[in-house]
Chain A
Amino acid sequence: MRVPVGLRILLLIVGATSFYTLVGQLVPQKEVQPPKETELKKEMTADELTKAGKDIMEGKGLCTTCHTFGKSGALRFPDLAGIGARAATRRPGHSDVQYLAESIYDPNVFIVPGFNPGMPVINKPPIGLSDQEILAVIAYLQSQGGKVTVTLQSKVWPLEAVAADAQAKD
């Protein structure tokens, strides 16, 4: 039986479309929800704050879209494993907290050698982390090889204002 040309064309169109739909079903299926807010209580232990910071980094902060933990080789952005230990040595005159705060609030001031600028300002949209959320992120970064010293009551930015505050207290 000879299949009419019109039917053959129809079968070809439906067949090709179905094939591409099938390819679409074979790749990993992930529904990406808008970032959820992480609950930050006034009184949090260092462990709770670190845990919250990790959640923020993997969620709303989108940090792990670019940064890795424990990867080596030709990376596009600095790996963050051990950053808690390294942070205090990156910028002369900057403590670990100051370096981390600057990297988040004003990321293009210092670019890690070998990498291109590209980090967005994290406290502005589209990411738009609050100061409290950034403190939690700093706590988590400090926990990567260092000691967690920040709390939700810490003031870390702007650096000049924090330094002036510290001087006034002294």
Chain B
Amino acid sequence: MTPRLNAKIAVTSLIVVAIAFAATVGLVRWVLSREYRAPERSDQAQVTPRTQALADEAAAKAKADREKPYQEETYRKFPMVGSRVAVWVLAQLHLLFAAFVLAVPLFALIIEFIGWLNRDERYDELAHEFTKLLSVSFSLTATFGAFLLFMLVLLYPKFMNYLMHVFSPTFAPYVGLFFFEAFFLYTYYYGWGKFSQVTHLLLGLGLNVVGTAIMLIANSWLTFMTTPAGVSESGAVISTWAAVHNYTWMPINIHRIIANVAFGGSVAAAYAAFKFLNAKTDEERAHYDWMGYIGNFVAICAFLPLPFAGYWLASEIYAYSQTLGLTMMGGAFSWLFIIQAVLIGNLFLGANYYLWLGMGRVQASERFQGYIKFLLILIALCFAVWATPRSIIATVSETRAMGGGAHPQLGYFGVMSAKNTAVNLLILTTYVSFLLYRRSGRTPTVSWAKLGNALQFAIAFLAGATVLFLGIYGYFVEAKVRIGLSVPQVSSVLFAMIAITAIDVLMYRNAKSLGEVNWGRIHPVSQYVLIFLAVTFTWLMGLMGYVRSGLRQHWHVYGVMRDTSVDAFTPTLGFATRVVSVTVLLFFLLIGFVFWLASLSDHKPGHAKEHA
């Protein structure tokens, strides 16, 4: 066919289609105009039963719309993942960034202060580099915070209404403090080198004070949800201060400050590791090795007392409600603490391994390396005890053979006496690792060095023996006594750490150097260990955040406001760990972005010195 013929056919087709369409429309209109009308109503214009029904329907709808009563929504649904998961992920991301933003200024200030005291610009440079990560993180914290608030108001309006009823006096100070935090943060960061050092340190102090105050206010809201106080049985406010100062408020405050520092230190160390692994020169490697070491040191120093703060928090939960305490440790969440044991065991292993690898950069550290295998054995044993569950997943025949859910021998390691003993010995062992690292490359010159060593050994041994003895003794006494034994266990370890450190500081004053610390000369695996520690810390925060919040089970506010949503059930641990993992991956994706942005403003180490 020719193109001309094709065009003709097309035009003709169009005309035929148009005529057919017009004919159809005409036919429909004709049929409608012939609609049946009742003879007695035929004089009433065009009213038919159908048009009347349509009109009535429209009028009824308009009337119903006008009279529709206002009803407050209790819940709204979030598509796909549901409201709970949406809020969960957002809250966790907000919390992780907030923890980072609160922690970094704390140790940056301490490092800057040390630099100022010792007139050492390296510390000042290091503190500045830590704070470089802050400004973008601060924006992300605020963004996630606002997002979380909108989602809570949108998805849980009734619950939010209640929280506003109880805590409305705290909102204005919260927002005000937020402005102050922005002021201090940006003047602290951008004012580096522009103010006198004392003024700059005071700005840093202001940033920390305001940041901590913000956290304290937010903590009152969330702790109230688990251990409400200051309200009547029906939930009416009696005292806002009592609602703020509820059972778990102060334990959470302390626990969070310490945990934030541990987490912030580990993430800052991961940043240093990232920079170390991408370093092009020995100078850069030396700088970032040192930065990673300091970050990790901060993390581990905060991590060691963390179990004690956790113990206080748990005891306050028990004091508020034994049911709540038992739900946490013996009920739905008991297996969560086995997962926690795996995480904490890995943190101890990783932290010790990093210290042992770090000995490689110190000359004349070989004399201590023989002890590492013993420390490793002790850590592995404690790890195994801590991760042993009380009851074991078994078939019916296996359970019969064991004579119950608990293994006849291993079951002994599943109870609190064993767990407390294991964690205290882990802390003590890690402390010994750090002590060995600290001594590498140095030898004391004081006349009483032998006595000092003997005294330190005796204290460490006695503390370990006390912990072990009380752990075993706990099996033979009633619950009332056993619960109290953890206090002397903890106290003996704390005493040992403080006493040994005091002796060590005095003993190694004016110590003789046996060799230099070659910063940068460390096996690259150590840097991956630092990143692994940061991931583990983050995951641990996600998991413990879940138990703290999930503990309420089917309550928004425990015993006061019940959760009647479709998400009122407590999910399986498998589901919870998947959500935690998604959050952790999202966090690292975003913190990677922060690292990348921080790298854009990079300058060579020593830059500050050159321009000072």
A residues engaging B (CB < 8 A)? Answer: 5, 8-9, 12-14, 16-18, 20-21, 23-25, 27-35, 62, 65-66, 74-77, 114-116, 118-120, 124-127
Contacts and interface: CB of A to CB of B under 8 A. Distances in A.
A77 to B, nearest CB: 8
Given A12-B528, A65-B326, A74-B477, A20 B277 contact: no
B328 to A, nearest CB: 10
B323 interface: yes
A43 B557 CA distance: 36
30 contacts: A9-B277, A9-B528, A16-B536, A16-B539, A17-B535, A20-B342, A21-B578, A21-B580, A24-B574, A24-B580, A27-B393, A27-B574, A28-B335, A28-B393, A28-B573, A33-B569, A34-B553, A35-B554, A62-B327, A65-B326, A65-B330, A74-B478, A74-B482, A76-B326, A115-B479, A115-B480, A119-B322, A120-B321, A126-B321, A127-B323
B479 A27 contact: no
Interface in B179-200: none
Given A8-B528, A9-B277, A76 B479 contact: yes
Given A62-B327, A74-B477, 4 more contacts: A9-B528, A34-B569, A65-B327, A125-B559
Contacts of A118: 318, 322
B577 A31 contact: no
Interface string B545-563: 0000000011100111001
Interface stretch (B32-40, B490-498, B512-520, B581-589): B581-589
A27 B573 contact: yes
Contact of B339 (A23, A32, A35, A65): A23
Interface of B: 233, 274, 277-278, 318, 321-323, 326-327, 330-332, 335-336, 338-339, 342-343, 389, 393, 475, 477-480, 482-483, 528, 531-532, 535-536, 539, 553-555, 558-560, 563, 568-574, 576-578, 580-581, 584-585, 588
A67 to B, nearest CB: 10
A23 B568 CA distance: 25
Contacts of A76: 326, 479
Contact of A66 (B323, B343, B558): B323
B584 A9 contact: no
A120 B577 contact: no
Contacts of B342: 20, 23
B323 A20 contact: no
Given A30-B572, A65-B330, A74 B274 contact: no
A81 B266 CA distance: 51
B277 A27 contact: no
Contacts of A25: 574, 577
B322 A66 contact: yes
A158 B178 CA distance: 52
A18 B568 CA distance: 27
B577 A24 contact: yes
Contact of A116 (B327, B479, B573): B479
A114 B576 contact: no
A114 B478 CA distance: 7
A127 B482 CA distance: 28
A9 B323 contact: no
A98 B220 CA distance: 41
Contacts of B568: 34
A119 B326 CA distance: 11
Contacts of B326: 65-66, 76
Contact of B535 (A13, A75, A126): A13
Nearest to A64: B331
Contacts of B318: 118
Contacts of B338: 27
A16 B322 contact: no
Given A25-B577, A125-B233, A125-B559, A20 B532 contact: no
A74 B475 contact: yes
Nearest to A119: B322
A137 to B, nearest CB: 15
A112 to B, nearest CB: 11
Contacts of B480: 114-116
Nearest to A25: B574
Contact of B573 (A29, A33, A34, A119): A29
A125 B560 CA distance: 7
Contacts of B532: 12, 16
Given A16-B535, A20-B339, A125-B560, A62 B323 contact: yes
A70 to B, nearest CB: 11
Those 9 A-B pairs whose CB atoms lie nearest each other, nearest first = A24-B577, A118-B322, A126-B559, A34-B554, A125-B559, A32-B570, A29-B572, A27-B335, A16-B535
Contacts of A27: 335-336, 338-339, 389, 393, 573-574
Contacts of A66: 322-323, 326, 330
A20 B553 contact: no
A17 B589 CA distance: 13
Residue in A28, A116, A127 whose Cβ sees the most chain B Cβ within 10 Å = A28
A75 B483 CA distance: 11
Nearest to B561: A125
A16 B555 CA distance: 33
Contact of B343 (A20, A28, A32, A62): A20
A27 B576 CA distance: 12
A118 to B, nearest CB: 3
A22 B339 CA distance: 10
B155 to A, nearest CB: 19
A76 B577 CA distance: 30
Given A16-B535, A120-B322, A24 B339 contact: yes
B225 to A, nearest CB: 12
